Structure 1
Amino acid sequence: MTAEVFEAVLDNRAELGLATQRPEDPRLAVPLFTREVLELVVPAQERVQGWDDLARLGFIDHPDGHDMATRLLSRCFPGNPGIRRLSRRGFTNQIGLILALVAEGLGFSVLPRFAGEAFAHAEAIRVVDDIPAVVDTLWLLHRAEWPLPARASRAVEWLKARLVDTRPKG
C-alpha cells in the first residue's frame, strides 16, 4: 500500500499522502506527521494468554491489517506461525466497522490506538495490556519541488489538531 501512495504523489494523482515507510526519493518532501501505537484489540470478555487464543478468536482484517498484525504479533508471540495462518472472520475498509465486528465477538484486530479511543462502544472491546509496544511513524509525503497548496496545508493542520496523544502508555 505504501508504494501506491508514493506513486500517486509522484504521478500527481494526489497532492499529499501518508506512509509508514519513509521514502528516500529526492523528488518527495517527507516531514514527520505523527507516531501511532498499535494495539491488539479483542472483545471485552476475552482474555489472550497465547497464540491459541488468537486462533480461536479469528482475525478481523482491514487494508493494513496483515502488516500491522505481523509487526505487533511477531513481538508479542515470537515464533508464531503468522497472521495468514489464522482464520479471517471478517474484512472491512471502514475503520469504525472493524471495531464493531470485534465488539460483536467476531474476532480480534490490530489497529492504531486512535481507532479504539474514537470507538463509541469502548465498553465492548478490550485492549490487551502487557505486550511490547509497537509504534508506527507516519510520514507526510508531497512533491519536493513545490510547497503544499494552502488547502492541503489547512487539511494537514486540521488533522494534526485532532490527533490524540499516541505515545506508549506508562
Structure 2
Amino acid sequence: MRARLADADAATGEVGLITPGSIGLFLNPLLLDMQAAERGLVIRHRFAPDHEVLDAVLNNWFELGVTTVRPDDPRLAASEFAEEALELVVPVGEEVREWSDLERIGFVDHPDCHAMASRLLSRRFAGHRDVRGLPLRGFSNQVGLILEPVARGFGFTVIPRYARRAFGKPEAIRVVEWDEPVVDTL
C-alpha cells in the first residue's frame, strides 16, 4: 500500500484491501489513521477468510490481500507481512492442564476454529487433534464477537492473537500459555 501511495497523485482515490478478521482488527485503526492523514484517499477494507482473499485479489476486486496461505498461483506476488500466534483463550479463572479440562469447559466455535485448534492443541495434547468431540457451547462467525461467550464463561476457543488483543474485556478472559507457540505467517 505504501508503494502505491508513493506517487504524488496516489494519495487520492480508492485502494481495496481484503484481510482475515484478526489481522483486520489490528490494521483497521491504522488504515483509518492513514485515510485521515490523506483526505483524498478512500480505503475499502473487507474481512474475509483466506480462500475469499485469494479469489478477490485474483479477480481484481481488491488490489491487496493478506492471507495465512501462501498463494501458489503465478499471477499473484506474495511476501511476508507479519506473524501471528494462535492462542487458547479460556474464561478467567479456568485452568487447562489436561484434555479433560477442555471437555469440561467446552468450546466456542468459529469458522476457522477446527483448523486452528487442531494445529495448536495437537502439540499440547498428543492423540487429541480435533475439537469436534468436545461439547459445543456457542458459535460466531464475527471475529469481534467470538470472545464474548468465552468472557461469559460458556467455553474456550482458539483464536489469533490480534483478535484477542482487540477484545474489549481482557479482564474476563485468560490466554493459556505454553512453551512453543504456533505461529501463522501472513
2-structure distance, mates of 1:104, 1:17: 33
Q: Which runs of 5 or more structure 2 residues have no equivalent in the other structure? A: 1-48
CA contact (8 A) 1:76 1:132 kept: no
TM-score when scaled to structure 2?
A: 0.68
| Alignment correspondent of 2:137 | 89
Change (3 A) 1:25 1:81: closer
| Alignment correspondent of 1:7 | 55
| Alignment correspondent of 1:66 | 114
Deviation at 1:127, TM superposition (A): 0.6
Give the percent of matched residue pairs that are identical in Structure 1 and Structure 2. 58
Q: How does 1:11-26 map to 2 (within 5 A)?
A: 11-26=59-74
Equivalent AA in structure 1 for residue 151 of structure 2: A
**Which 4+ residue blocks in structure 1 deviate beyond 4 angstroms?**
none
**CA RMSD for the aligned pairs?**
1.6
2-structure distance, mates of 1:64, 1:45: 25
Which segment is superposed worse, 105-114 or 83-92? 83-92
Report 1 or 2 for greater relative contact order, CA contacts < 8 Å, sequence distance ≥ 6.
1
Show CA shifts across 1:65-103 (max 9, x none): 111111101111121152111122111122221111101
TM-score when scaled to structure 1?
A: 0.74
Deviation at 1:35, TM superposition (A): 0.4
Which of 120, 123, 127 is the matching residue for 1:79? 127
Paired residues, number: 138
CA contact (8 A) 1:76 1:131 kept: no
User: Which has the greater radius of gyration?
Assistant: 2
| Alignment correspondent of 2:158 | 110
